[in-house]
Structure 1
Amino acid sequence: MLHHGGMSTTTPLQVFLTHTEEEFAAYYGPAGLAGLLAHARVVRNTTGRVLAGRELAEAAAGCQVIVAHRSAPGNAETFAHAPALLAFLRGAVDISTIDVPAASAVGVLVTRATPGFTDAVAELAIGMMVDLARGVSAAVCAYRAGREPVPPMGMQLTGAMLGIMGYGRIARRLAQMALGIGMRVQVHDPYTPPREPGVAAVSFAEVLASSDVVVCLALSTPETAGLFDAGAFAAMKWGAIFINLSRGELVDEAALEATLDAGHLRGAAMDVGQAPDQRPQPHLARRADVVATPHIGGLTAEARDHQMMDTVHQVAALAAGRMPDGAVNAADARRLRQFWA
């Protein structure tokens, strides 16, 4: 079942919003919908399912724009069966599930949102460090189960060494926060070495060997797939903490599980994994030495609104005949140029 909203009298644009009701409540919301309705007619996905492939194309039939939640892929089958489609807008930074060459081949524009979640993810990293360093979740779970927890000997973060793999926006913000609570910080990034005072540039081997807490914030590329494998975990300090806030494919999860089984690490935390929608694998998330969250790093009102409004601004630009910010393949957007002609 599809629900049709209102339409501006000045533009023929029609937008399909892929978000399920659950996704809409958490990742878009009434303010974003109102913003879209100021520039286009909106068709909502009320099927209760994440749509993909030909089914997505058929649901969006007649729409010139698809605004897609991260769960909805943009694959070749969708583009092949959506002759009216001009643009596929991802309401997130990650476009790994969009077949950009397939979109370009038929002249469809692909866009992405800008990162609005830097502070939110960095704050979650700090929370995970504190949790594992002091056994917070373990104690909470014991109390809730009616057991008296055994007080653990904690790791003090003040003076501890934080090692960050990757040095993008989130890593830089995390480094600032960590320095603020008295941690020492070292980073490995072969493309963006740190230059800030108090942040040391070291090798990947040094990050592993001398860090009390290792946080994976590297970009997901073919070269970084499986970056944290059995060898990497074996090279980490005994009793260290490992946190993954990047992408699930950067971690060999079987190797992580074996390392935890061996007691080599104090614990691990993850907001991402190799389950659907980049969520942690349930069998890992259930472990007592793991703190897992269901891909909520950017799930704050501030982060949501930032990326939501990026898509609204992109639709406004399309309706006004302008190439929107965040365009990935503007040179190949032949359908748009024909539409505007």
Structure 2
Amino acid sequence: MSTILVTSDTLAPQALDLLREHDLVFTGKNPAEERIVELCREHNPVGIIVRYGKLGAAAMDAAPALKVMSKHGSGTDNIDKVAAKERGIEVVAAAGANAAAVAEQALALLLACAKSVSRIDARMHAGHWDKASHTSVELDSQTVGVVGLGAIGQRFARMAHGLGMRVLGFDPFAKSLPDYITVTDVPTILREAEVISLHCPLTEENRHLLNASTLAQCKRGVIVVNTARGGLIDEDALLAAVRSGQVGGAGLDSFEVEPMQPGHPFQNEPGIVLSPHIGAVTNGAYVNMGLFAARNALAVLARHTAAA
């Protein structure tokens, strides 16, 4: 019986059932790269279901039987895809499996920023009643710029449209988009949007897409939401922009370094709403991502078996 390595301590029971014909080895929570390499060397898996940890050339070389790395989610930036291609190892992702969950998190962060939910809640719990002094942002008729129009970005765009927002979108690869999304470029989004929500993968080309220069091009008071990858934002520049009022609020579910370390300046900034990269952590998404990851891995392995 061949082995599949899971870089976590759990999978949804439905996914475990699909994989019952294989021996499953779990790395435990948040495994170090060295631990993954060690288990690859020990068990020589034919497949890896990637939840946490980095999968680099060393792990691939430690598992000569490896045929597929199947991501438990849509983002594959913790997999060295160049190294995988060089070794003939397929990399597949659970595209769309967590779309509803992450889009809902983006909407929650947007509303939290626009309505000052965290600050008002803290004030209420401290015994204050700020009705006479508080004004929130009304999103109806405002413009939202959605960067990245995959399954998550399109789902969020539909929600924003449902709130009565004008939706601008940028994605050079998206096709057959609904008519309520006006396709444009990033400079136009920076110039016209009251809200910018990031839903694109991180690449070397778009790293620090939002930086001191691009944030300065935005409307004053713009709200920034990021449920994609932390590296899309220059965190120092965002902090400065929030403190100056150029950015009216930021809702963040991903960060350049995770987990966030104690003392990070975001932790003491009331203009930034934080969540610990849990956009996809819902009961429905957990099952969907497990099923997608298992099915994708099994499909690749079946092709290899048929070709042998």
TM-score relative to the length of structure 1: 0.79
Residue ranges of structure 1 left out of the alignment (5+ in a row): 1-11, 324-335
Q: Secondary structure at the match of 2:215?
A: helix
Q: Which residue of 1 aligns with 2:193?
A: 211
The root-mean-square deviation of aligned C-alpha atoms, in Å, is 2.8
2:75 aligned with 1:94, yes or no?
yes
Q: Which residue of 2 aligns with 1:6?
A: none
Whichever residue aligns with residue 17 of structure 1, its letter is V
Equivalent of 1:196 in 171, 178, 185: 178
Classify 1:40/1:194 alpha carbon distance in 2 versus 1 (closer, same or farther; 3 Å): closer
Q: Which residue of 2 aligns with 1:34?
A: 17
Q: Which residue of 2 aligns with 1:298?
A: 280
Give the ranges of 4+ consecutive aligned residues of structure 1 lying more than 4 Å apart after TM superposition: 277-281
Whichever residue aligns with residue 294 of structure 2, its letter is V
Distance 2:87 2:185 in 1: 43
Distance 1:308 1:281 in 2: 34
Q: Which residue of 2 aligns with 1:112?
A: 93
**Native 8 Å contact 1:248 1:278 kept in 2:** no
Classify 1:68/1:266 alpha carbon distance in 2 versus 1 (closer, same or farther; 3 Å): same
**Native 8 Å contact 1:162 1:185 kept in 2:** yes
Q: Secondary structure at the match of 2:179?
A: coil
Q: Which residue of 2 aligns with 1:180?
A: 162
Q: Secondary structure at the match of 1:276?
A: coil
**Native 8 Å contact 1:215 1:244 kept in 2:** yes
Q: Which residue of 1 aligns with 2:251?
A: 269
Equivalent of 2:145 in 141, 160, 163: 163
Q: Which residue of 1 aligns with 2:7?
A: 18
Whichever residue aligns with residue 19 of structure 1, its letter is S
Q: How does 1:241-260 map to 2 (within 5 A)?
A: 241-260=223-242
2:139 aligned with 1:150, yes or no?
no
Whichever residue aligns with residue 238 of structure 2, its letter is L
Deviation at 1:173, TM superposition (A): 1.7
Q: Which residue of 1 aligns with 2:51?
A: 70
Q: Secondary structure at the match of 1:15?
A: strand
Classify 1:119/1:278 alpha carbon distance in 2 versus 1 (closer, same or farther; 3 Å): farther
**Native 8 Å contact 2:49 2:294 kept in 1:** no
Distance 1:139 1:294 in 2: 21
Q: Which residue of 2 aligns with 1:289?
A: 271
2:290 aligned with 1:308, yes or no?
yes
Q: Secondary structure at the match of 2:139?
A: coil
Equivalent of 2:66 in 80, 85, 99: 85
Distance 1:170 1:282 in 2: 28
TM-score relative to the length of structure 2: 0.87
Deviation at 1:122, TM superposition (A): 1.6
Please say which structure displays the higher CA radius of gyration: 1
Distance 2:260 2:229 in 1: 7
For these two proteins, the number of residue pairs brought into alignment is 305
Q: For structure 1, which segment, 307-316 or 175-184, has the greater mean C-alpha deviation from structure 2 after superposition?
A: 307-316
Q: Secondary structure at the match of 1:241?
A: strand
Deviation at 1:240, TM superposition (A): 2.0
Distance 1:108 1:254 in 2: 37
State percent identity of aligned pairs.
25
**Native 8 Å contact 2:56 2:83 kept in 1:** yes
